[in-house]
Amino acid sequence: MFTCIYKNIRNIHYEDLTDLRNNKGVFVGETSYSDNIFNTPEYRLNNGVYLFKSRDRDDVALRIYKDFADYLFVSYGEDARLVSKLQDKQKMIKLTTFPTGIITIGKSVIGQEIPYYEGGKTLAYLFRNKQMGSKIATSYYIDMLKILKELVQNGIIYADCHANNFIYHEDIVKLIDFEEHFISIDKDKGKEQDMLRNLKTCLIGLSRLIDIEIEGISKTNTLDEMLELVQEKHYKLERNVLNK
């Protein structure tokens, strides 16, 4: 049996695949949008994740990697360490709730226990379907940038900035995806540049969906510069709404 050696995190342990099948909770969604988990005898699964609302708690979900069988658990071997490091920072972080545990079979990590935001919609969905409600579009960007800035200030570089990794839930944007490959706990200029590059692509892509433009966003070199431009655009849009 796997014994979690890291502090601050829960170990949700399953003895084998049958135990996992019988106890995984309520299916919520997955990256390929078809509920076929472990239905094949060979367990040959595609890349991605399955999300299950926990049987025990309404506020967490089990994020189980579909590809763990094919990869023999190797790809995500550092997840326990990652979640533990993030949890060490949680008391200093206000805008992001980190994973609260890991999921294991045998001696191997196969997923994470993460916050479950029932009814939340990804920013990609909201912008693609023009469902921003009465909120000004740039307010979503400001929320995203504040999340990333707080993380950077606490030594965490989150590089995987795209519109499916942020959801809107209970009037605020929240970060939902945590993987070793895309998070650097230490200050890393390379990762920081990845973050900025991906973030620019994300904001420009979302803006095109709703036909607005944030002038100069592609030339910014820091989060602070980006936030300043976005806030300036936000105030202009806000004034236009008030003047109507």
What's the confidence (pLDDT) of residue 37? 45
Dihedral angle at the C-alpha atoms of 11, 14, 16, 21, nearest 10 degrees? -130
49, β-bridge pairs: 65
- The stretches in the chain having pLDDT less than 70 are 1-3, 30-48, 67-77, 243-244
CA distance 108 to 161: 28
Beta pairing class for 172-175 and 183-184: unpaired
Output the six-digit token pair for 47: 């890349």
What's the confidence (pLDDT) of residue 100? 93
Helices (H), the chain: 17-23, 79-89, 123-128, 137-153, 189-209, 223-243
Which three-class secondary structure state does DSSP give residue 90?
helix
175-186 b/e (C-beta count within 10 Å ≥ 16 → b): bbbbbbebbbbe
Residue 123: half-sphere exposure toward Cβ, Cα within 13 Å:
30
Which three-class secondary structure state does DSSP give residue 61?
strand
Distance of CA 216 to CAs 137, 153, 165, 228, 229, Å?
A: 17, 24, 24, 11, 8
What's the confidence (pLDDT) of residue 43? 39
Measured at the alpha carbon of residue 210, what is the angle toward residues 206 and 211, in degrees to the nearest 5? 105
